[in-house]
Amino acid sequence: MKKVLLLPFLGIILITNAQVGINNNTPSSTLDIGGSLEGSYREITANSTLSATDYHVSFAGTSAATASLPQMSTSDGSASDFRGRKYFIKNNSSSSNLTLAAVSGQTIRIGGGNTANNTYILSPGVLGILTANATNGWDLDLAVNTIPDTSWKITNNDFNGTLNAAQAIATGNTYQTITGSSVTVTVPPGYNQSIVTLNFDGWGDVDHTGVSMGSLRFQITQSGTSAATYTSTSMTSWAVTNTGVSRIRFTFPAAYSISNLAPGTYTFNIQVVREGELGSAPNAVNIWGIQSTAKVYSKN
């Protein structure tokens, strides 16, 4: 009788601790699958409610829609206790959002600094993986690397400048590079479109002896992967109407953008030339400072 009682007991232990292998004779996990895994697939184009038979849901609508999540319970043994259930939801729409909506009183959380909410908007191109959690709601994982780069983003930038360092601008028709204006950026590969934006903000003064006027004209030079000169990007003018003042001050902003440069590294400088001067010749025209910024925006 002792042997008869012992064998059923051992059988229960083996069943309780069993590991199941599919195409695998030596499973190392509770369920070890030596092959592919197939789940139900459903495509939606409008509002829909997920059920126990859903696994992968693909949204391909042409207008915004909502995927409603089923009510779940965290009470062990209840019919709606499906903690750990997963839904894979892919927004394959070209332009329409899909809103994931939990039932009233339940939340969707993604962690980090994001507050758990009752809804979450899944943008086009994004895959969301929902897991029923133990805190009365759902955990949402986002496959961020599946998001196409369809919006502009800054991929590189540079800043430079000099303060209170006088640079005299000579007369004549030759452009002079403004000291400290150089900025260097890299246009990365792998994008269909790119824009380099350049901003130069400077200031200076004119040392004069009598009534006079004139202008400063600016151009931008490009070197590196390819060379170019962008002429007449901006100009500023000055005028002396009061001979009792020995110096007048001026500022000059220069902004310029360049589209679709080939991937590579580029250096930009701003240059200046004096022109159109009338009246009493000034003693000197000086640049006193410059602040330069370059940014690269990229998108697919």
What residue type is 237 in one-letter code?
Answer: S
Are 39-146 and 153-299 equal in CATH topology? yes
3-state helix, strand, coil in the chain (%, to 5): 5, 50, 40
Please give the CATH number for the structural domain made up of 39-146. Answer: 2.60.120
Q: Is 136 left (phi over 0), alpha (psi -120 to 50) or beta?
A: left
Would you state the pLDDT for residue 1? 44
CATH 1.10.357 holds for 153-299: no
Pick from 227, 234, 225, 298: nearest CA to 270: 234
Check residue 10 and give its pLDDT. Answer: 38
Q: Nearest Cα to 229, choosing from 275, 267, 263? A: 267
Q: State the pTM of this model.
A: 0.55
| Residue 134 three-state SS | coil
pLDDT on residue 28: 78
Cα 288 to Cα 286: distance, rounded to the nearest angstrom: 6
Helix (H) or strand (E) holding 12: helix 2-16
Nearest to 156 by CA among 194, 116, 113: 194
User: What tokens does 31 get?
Assistant: 């369920």
What is the pLDDT at residue 5? Answer: 43
List of the chain residues with pLDDT < 50: 1-16, 145-147
Structural contact between residues 42 and 29, judged by C-beta atoms closer than 8 angstroms: no
Residues with Cβ within 8 Å of 116's Cβ and at least 6 positions away in sequence, in order, are 107, 108, 109, 110, 137
- C-alpha 83/C-alpha 277 separation (Å) is 80
Determine contact, residues 283/274, Cβ cutoff 8 Å.
no
The domain ranges of the chain are 39-146, 153-299
Rounded Cα gap, residues 30 and 28, in angstroms: 7
Compute the residue count for the chain.
300
Q: How far apart are CA 64 and CA 147, in angstroms?
A: 18
Comparing CA positions, the residue from 120, 122, 100, 196 lying closest to residue 157 is: 196
**Backbone phi, then psi, for 296, in 5-degree steps?**
-110, 120
pLDDT value, residue 78: 74
